[in-house]
Amino acid sequence: DSGVTQTPKHLITATGQRVTLRCSPRSGDLSVYWYQQSLDQGLQFLIQYYNGEERAKGNILERFSAQQFPDLHSELNLSSLELGDSALYFCASSPTGDLRGQPQHFGDGTRLSIL
């Protein structure tokens, strides 16, 4: 058990809809990362938050947004969903955003299926 909790485990919805994925980091971790994993693209970095502030952006679509709350949990919001958004979405956490090269610990993901 990595200590990173993601809910829900599975989400089924339709095109055009909006969903929210939730992540609770390991106790004491200040940084939260979001990744998308699909069969053909591998694990793609979306966005990082550190102690409530956006820290780095990756290949995140404008239809997607995230935030980190004062209690350090994070939410990833996906809107105007398309079939191609079907994927596994992982959250990871690390202790700080100031020490480089810190390993990240992953939750078990949310499987998003768009019908």
* Choice between 45 and 73, CB closer to other proteins: 45
Residue 69 near residue 52, CB atoms below 8 Å: yes
What is the DSSP pairing of strand 42-50 with strand 19-24?
unpaired
Among 45, 65, 73, 86, binds other proteins (CB under 8 A): 45
Q: How far apart are the first and last CA of the chain?
A: 31
Enter the DSSP assignment of 29: -
Taking contact as CB under 8 A, which single stretch among the options 13-21, 53-61, 64-72, 76-84 is the one that binds other proteins? 53-61
Q: Please give the residues from 63 up to 102 whose contact with other proteins meets the rule CB under 8 A.
A: 90, 92, 94, 97, 99-102
C-beta neighbour count of 70 within 10 angstroms: 7
- Residues lying near other proteins in the complex (CB under 8 A): 2, 4, 6, 31, 33, 42-43, 45, 48, 55-56, 58, 90, 92, 94, 97, 99-109, 111
